[in-house]
Amino acid sequence: MGTENETVFTLDQAIERLGLTRAQVYRQMKDGGIKATKVDGGPRFSEKDLLALEEVLKKKQTDLAEALDRWLATLGERLTAGGVQELPEVADGTPEERTAEVVRRIILLGIVEGAADIHIDPLTKGSRLLWRRGGALKETGRLEPALSDPVKAGLKTSAGITDPEQTAATFVHSHNDHAYQIRLKVAPT
pLDDT mean over 73-96 = 91
Report d(CA 141, CA 44) in Å as an integer: 43
Q: What is the dihedral of CA 109, 115, 121, 124, to 10 degrees?
A: -50
Max Cα-Cα span within the chain: 68
pLDDT confidence of residue 69: 94
The pTM of the whole model exceeds 0.85: no
Residue 82 pLDDT > 80: yes
> What proportions of the chain, in percent to the nearest 5, are helix, strand and coil?
45, 25, 30
pLDDT of residue 53: 95
Which residues, 6+ apart, have CB-to-CB distance to 147 below 8 Å? 64, 67, 68, 71, 99, 102, 126
Of 51 and 175, more confident:
51
108 Cβ contact partners less than 8 Å away, ≥ 6 residues apart: 79, 84, 173, 175
- Say which range, 69-78, 80-89, 177-186, has the weakest mean pLDDT: 177-186
Residue 8 has pLDDT above 90, yes or no: yes
Whether 175 shows a pLDDT value over 90: the answer reads no
Predicted local distance difference test score (pLDDT) of residue 55: 95
Closest CA to 139 of 159, 156, 155, 115: 115
pLDDT confidence tier of residue 166, bands split at 50, 70 and 90:
confident
| Stretch 72-80: mean pLDDT | 95
Out of 10-19, 132-141, 152-161, 179-188, which region has the weakest mean confidence (pLDDT)? 179-188
Name every residue whose Cβ is closer than 8 Å to that of residue 170 and which is 6 or more positions away in sequence. Answer: 159, 181, 182, 183, 184
| DSSP summary character for residue 31 | T
